[in-house]
Structure 1
Amino acid sequence: MMPTQDEVNSVNKAFSILKLFQTQSELGITEMAYLMGMAKGSIYRFVTTLKRLGLLEQNPENEKYRPAVGLLELSSLYVAHLDWRAVVHPFMELLSERTQEDILLAVLDKSNIVYIDKIEGKQMLRMVPQIGLPRPAYCTGSGKALLAGLNQQQLLELYKGQELLHYTEHTITNFNALLEDLALIQKRGYAFDNEEFELGVVAVASPFRGMNGEALGALSVSGPCLRFGENKIDETATLVIDVCKEISRRLGWKEGQIHNTRW
């Protein structure tokens, strides 16, 4: 049975009321009526229904309304069924178009990263790793971006008894030096692989987050060091950070919501 036009209009109005709380933490009936251009009696009926459904609640101190836990449950349902790789890939295409370099999507697997998606650059000289092949996190751009999302205790447990192997003359092989680098990555929002795993190859990477603030994966822009001067590194870092923030927002992360990893 198809819904009537009145039912469709009611759903649209209820949804529009909920969207008011994207910019306001609390609203009264009069405020909502003004913003919606509706009578206060009509707003009251909608709000009463939304409250009964657990989507809004009333602050007993000022009698204004605010989002309730039911909205969080709905957003959690969305994220639970979301294939975030499908969300990320269009942004990889954007990075590829803007930089013309190799774009890689990686996830953390214990002390390694695994590349799960890639877009090869349009440059003649390319150095693209194989999908599914693990690489050590401590000496790759995406790996360091994701390690910086862990706290110090997690890092100590992760690398307990492990030696940081020497891959190139630029590889960080001292654990304390690695912690210093990760602290810098936390502060500036991106990681830089300065030929640390493979000579001649550099990468700029940043993590993206889920609704709880945890790092789900990282995107990196990678290529030969001869194409990455200081200006390009800065420009690429700004671009990757902005793209990963937008991905995070699409996955439910809120601006200013930081996963507690400070050391």
Structure 2
Amino acid sequence: MKNSSAADSVVLGPRPQYPIESVDNALRILLLLGERSELRLTEVAEYLGVASSTAHRLLAMLHYRGFIRQDRRSKAYVPGTALTGVAFSILQQFDVRQTLRPFLEELRDETGETVHVATLDGTTVRFIDAIESPRAVRVASRLGRSMPANCTSTGKAMLASLSTERLHQLYPEEELPGLTEHSIRSRAALEREIAGIRRRGYATSSEESEEGVSSVSVAFPAEHSALRLSFNTAMPVSRVKRADIKRIAELMRSTVDRAAALLH
């Protein structure tokens, strides 16, 4: 007997006259992966109501095409580069950026600084929209750039929404990549930083991704979007004051709350 799931409610078209069960089951696996951070062979077989050997063949084909990958340690299946690549391409083409643009403009006007929207792809942050500060001395737009998540306030804000187990899956080794001498370069240090972000509700960075640049970021609640998103405000270190950081963070938290409601 097949188990039910919210994924089964995703039906947007008429049932085909000649359904292909194997294709439907592969698509149901991907929908189920949208609900959970990882999948195991036994739960996929149980969910589909098929033998483990059948579930394994379906997973193997999705793995072959890059839609899933198998974690080396846990052996669980997680989203692959093809799946996240498709999601990122769709994000670029459709209305998430259009929906968030007015809020980004508000943040730029209120702070006078360069602002970004970014998404998390594994351990990488991708900047998908940006508006530069009107000031003569400003942080340049990072639109289209990708950076290690542990080196940016944006990445750290989104990583803080993950479970410790998922964080360890993304970072199986203690040593982490860095961009500057101020970058967080160990998993233990990253976990300590994330604990503080969870308490505060926002992340900061001081020259961790680029010399002379500080930033503040607030992540969107995961339940409001299929993708992990974050707003970021970046400014020259020379303009940063502690009071400004708190003010900008509160402004961004309020803005994220309003923007997230439109993505639900």
Report if TM-score (shorter chain) is over 0.5.
yes
Find the counterpart in structure 2 of residue 230 from structure 1.
242
> Unpaired segments of 5 or more residues in structure 1?
1-81, 253-263
Q: Deviations over 1:95-121 (max 9, x none)?
A: 000011000110001101010000011
136, 144, 168: which one pairs with 2:156?
144
182, 186, 191: which one pairs with 1:179?
191
User: Structure 1 residues 210 and 111, CA, compared in 2 at 3 Å: closer, same or farther?
Assistant: closer
Alpha-carbon distance between aligned partners in 2 of 1:197 and 1:210, rounded to the nearest angstrom: 24
85, 94, 98: which one pairs with 1:86?
98
State the percentage of identical aligned residues.
Answer: 33
> Unpaired segments of 5 or more residues in structure 2?
1-93
Counterparts of 1:34-183 in structure 2, within 5 Å, are 83-161=95-173, 163-183=175-195
Alpha-carbon distance between aligned partners in 2 of 1:127 and 1:116, rounded to the nearest angstrom: 16
Find the counterpart in structure 1 of residue 213 from structure 2.
201
Alpha-carbon distance between aligned partners in 1 of 2:104 and 2:225, rounded to the nearest angstrom: 21
212, 226, 229: which one pairs with 1:217?
229
User: Structure 1 residues 126 and 201, CA, compared in 2 at 3 Å: closer, same or farther?
Assistant: same
User: Structure 1 residues 181 and 247, CA, compared in 2 at 3 Å: closer, same or farther?
Assistant: same
Establish whether residue 189 from structure 1 lines up as the match of residue 221 from structure 2: no
Q: Deviations over 1:30-58 (max 9, x none)?
A: xxxxxxxxxxxxxxxxxxxxxxxxxxxxx
What value does the CA root-mean-square deviation take over the aligned residues?
Answer: 2.2
Kept after mapping to 1: 8 A contact 2:148/2:178? no
Decide which moves more: 148-157 or 122-131. Answer: 122-131
Kept after mapping to 2: 8 A contact 1:138/1:144? yes
Find the counterpart in structure 2 of residue 69 from structure 1.
none
User: Offset at 1:216?
Assistant: 2.7
Kept after mapping to 2: 8 A contact 1:194/1:201? yes
SS at match of 1:115: strand
TM-score (ref. length: structure 1): 0.61
Decide which moves more: 198-207 or 161-170. Answer: 161-170
User: Offset at 1:204?
Assistant: 0.3
Q: Deviations over 1:234-262 (max 9, x none)?
A: 1111111111111112222xxxxxxxxxx
User: Structure 1 residues 212 and 229, CA, compared in 2 at 3 Å: closer, same or farther?
Assistant: closer
Q: Deviations over 1:164-220 (max 9, x none)?
A: 134323211121111011111111110001111112100000011354577630000
Alpha-carbon distance between aligned partners in 2 of 1:96 and 1:212, rounded to the nearest angstrom: 23
Alpha-carbon distance between aligned partners in 2 of 1:199 and 1:237, rounded to the nearest angstrom: 21
Alpha-carbon distance between aligned partners in 2 of 1:116 and 1:92, rounded to the nearest angstrom: 12
Larger radius of gyration: 1
Kept after mapping to 2: 8 A contact 1:149/1:214? no
Alpha-carbon distance between aligned partners in 2 of 1:179 and 1:167, rounded to the nearest angstrom: 18
Aligned length: 173
Kept after mapping to 2: 8 A contact 1:106/1:217? yes
